[in-house]
Amino acid sequence: MKKVLSKMTQQQLAELVHVSSRTIISIEKEQYSPSLMLAYRMAEVFGVSVEELCCLKENKELEDKQYENL
């Protein structure tokens, strides 16, 4: 997601998806997970799918490993 976000400034992205730049900074630092609608808006801006933008497949595999260890 960092690589995707580096294409434009945080302020520009924030204005396009109607959130504050502080929210974009938090998302980039992985301190905050965006809502589905926000993730969809961001995916639209970058012309990718939500799955690609949020690396859902990789994160799911990581979570599955954690559930296996429970």
Which of 19, 42, 53, 54 is in the footprint of another protein by CB under 8 A?
Answer: 19
* By the rule CB under 8 A, 20 interacts with another protein: yes
24: CB partners within 8 A, 6+ apart: 5, 10, 13, 14, 17
Which of 1, 10, 16, 32 is in the footprint of another protein by CB under 8 A?
Answer: 32
Q: Which is nearer to another protein, 12 or 64 (CB)?
A: 12
CB of 10 to another protein, least distance (A): 13
CB of 32 to another protein, least distance (A): 5
CA 65 to CA 58: how far, in whole Å?
A: 11
